[in-house]
Structure formats: C-alpha cells, structure tokens
Amino acid sequence: MANKRITYSQAQQTALLSQVDGVCPLCVDPLFYKKNNKTYKYYEIAHIYPLNATPAEEVLLEHEERLSEDLNDEANVIPLCKGCHGKFDKPRTVEEYRELVVLKKKIIVKGGQEDIWKRYDIQDDIHAVIDAIYEDPSFDTDADIDYSPKTVDDKLDQSISRPTHRKIKNNVQDYYVFIREKFEFLDQNGEEASKIISMQIKLFYLNQKKYDYTQQVIFENTVNWINAKTKPDTTDAAEIIASFFVQNCEVFE
C-alpha cells in the first residue's frame, strides 16, 4: 500500500525553511524569488528517503541509514529548489542520498543545540570580559604578555582541524593572561563571578561530552553557545573565551 503524502502546515514549512536559512542546501540558490514586487516560492518539500520507493530504489538504499521510520516525519524531509529536487529524485543516487542525510543530521543536531542553549545560561558578568576584549586599552599597552599554551597540544586530539587547533593556541597565547586578569578583577567584589562562569562552562561541556561529539564539534558548539548567549560584536570574542576555557581545563580535560 502506497504511503500518503501529507501537506505540511505553514508553521512546519516555516520551520523547515528556517533550518536551511531560506536557501537550497544543495545549490545555495534562494528558495523564493520576486517578480512584479511579489514574492513567490521556488521550493518543494523533498523526502530524503523516498516516500514510495521503487523496487530499484529499495535495493539501492537497502543498507543506508534512515532518519525516521515515519517517512513523512520532518526528520526525513528538507526544502529543495525545484531544480535540485528533480535532479535528486531522478535518478536517485546513493551519493546524493548520503549527502542529504549528512546535511539533515547537522540540521537536527543544530536544533538540539539551540534547545540546550536555552537551558544553559552564562553569568552576565562575562559581558565585562567580552567588552574588555574589544575596548580595554591595557591589552595593547601591556609591556609583555608571554604565555606558552603548552597544555593545549596535550588536550586536543586529531578530530580538531589544523586551523582550529592553531586558532585556539593563538588565542591562548595572546589573550589567556589578559582574560584571567579580567576575571580576577570581577572577583574583587567577593561574588566569585569567575568561578560561577567556569562552572557554567564546565556544565555545558559535560552536556556536550555525553553525546560523544568530537572535540571539533564540541568546540564549535561551545563557541556558538557563548556567541548566542552574549551576542558580542563578532564571533572572535566567543572563540577567544572558549579557547581560554580550553586552556583553563573547563573544556577538554
């Protein structure tokens, strides 16, 4: 018996479009176009695993991962531009199927991360440290900030890309002492803000670790969380703060 295609509500379509930022995840073309001052949709909701697979498709995808047993579930669909949808369906290939599975899994993980971001807060005092990264003139006038980030090499494994590894080391080399001093200044009022922030970072890290994410994913998630919670001018500050806590042992033992 053939599976019935459902009609996704406007709210569901909006959520699905938000997941891909309004562009086709395969060709990056916009999923809407304008004509005569009106906006029209140029997308279709594509089933990643086919809703009603042909015998040939069943054989082709026999050993492939499925994102949901319910083929109409939002986990198994993704908005594609009409051109890419047609190419994806006919003829279907294992390579293109796997590509969309990987894309959708990243989207699902990101959605889960956003739920985690809502549950884990960071003490407001961290804004003073972030502001100092951008504005404090003492960073430029300090005579010599000499700090060797030796423990970074011991903590980072092969899942960390070379550019990320270098970025973390450089951030630690340039900013570790500066940020540590800013946290010490916060603690002068006796409220131990730095310890609270450290515990919050540690709890977020432990939550990430339980999902068996790679270090690369954990670092990126930590940066994104700090960025979402503190909204600095650029992501640089979030990367610098995350790197500080890598060296300080709250992220990666």
| pLDDT of amino acid 123 | 86
State pLDDT tens for residues 161-219.
999 999 999 999 999 989 998 998 888 876 788 899 999 999 999 999 988 889 999 99
| pLDDT of amino acid 201 | 93
Higher local confidence (pLDDT), 119 or 86:
86
Confidence class of residue 147 from pLDDT cuts 50, 70 and 90? low
| pLDDT of amino acid 113 | 84
C-alpha span between 72 and 65 (Å, rounded): 16
Sequence-distant contacts of 236-239: CB under 8 A, at least 24 apart:
236/133, 237/130, 237/133, 237/134, 239/167, 239/171
Higher local confidence (pLDDT), 97 or 144:
97
| pLDDT of amino acid 150 | 65
Average pLDDT over residues 14-26: 93
pTM of the model: 0.70
| Residue 83 DSSP SS3 | helix
As a whole-number percent, the residues of the chain with pLDDT over 70 amount to: 94
Alpha helices in the chain (DSSP H): 10-19, 55-60, 82-89, 94-119, 126-135, 138-141, 150-155, 162-186, 193-209, 215-230, 235-247
Task: Check if the beta carbon of residue 225 is closer than 8 Å to that of residue 121.
Answer: no
State pLDDT tens for residues 45-99.
999 999 999 999 999 999 999 999 999 999 999 999 999 999 999 999 999 999 9
| Whether the predicted pLDDT of 226 surpasses 90 | yes
| pLDDT of amino acid 143 | 42
